[in-house]
Structure 1
Amino acid sequence: MASGGFEAFLEARADEIETALGAALDPASPLLSGTPERLLAAMRYAALGGGKRLRPVLLAEVAALLGAPRQAALGPALALECIHCYSLVHDDLPAMDDDDLRRGRPTVHRAFDEATAILAGDALLTLAFGLVAAEATLAAQARVALVAALARAAGAAGMVGGQALDLGAETLTLSESEIATMQAMKTGALIAQACEAGAIVAGADAETRDRLVRYGEIVGLAFQLADDLLDETSDAATLGKAAGKDAARGKKTLPSLHGQDWTRRRLDALVAEAEALLAPFGDRARTLVELARFVAIRSR
Structure 2
Amino acid sequence: MTNPDPKAGGPVGSPAAAAPMRVLEKQIYRGPNIYGYEPMIRFQLDLGALEQFPSNTLPGFTDRLVALLPSLQAHGCCYRAPGGFIRRLRDGTWLGHVAEHVALDLQTLAGTRVTYGKTRSVKGQPGVYNVLYSYKEERVGLLAGVVALRLVQSLLPPELQGIQGLARLLPEEAARLDLDSPFDFQAELGELRRLVRKFALGPTTQSLVSEAERRGIPYLRLDDQSLVQLGYGKYQQQVRASITSKTPHIATSTASDKDLTKRLLDRAGLPVPQGVVVQTAEDAVAAARRLRGPVVTKPLDGNHGRGSR
Q: Same fold (TM over 0.5)?
A: no
Q: Which has the higher helix share?
A: 1
Query: Larger relative contact order (C-alpha < 8 A, sep ≥ 6)?
Result: 1
**Radius of gyration: which is bigger?**
2
Q: Which has the higher strand share?
A: 2
TM-score normalised by structure 1 residue count:
0.29
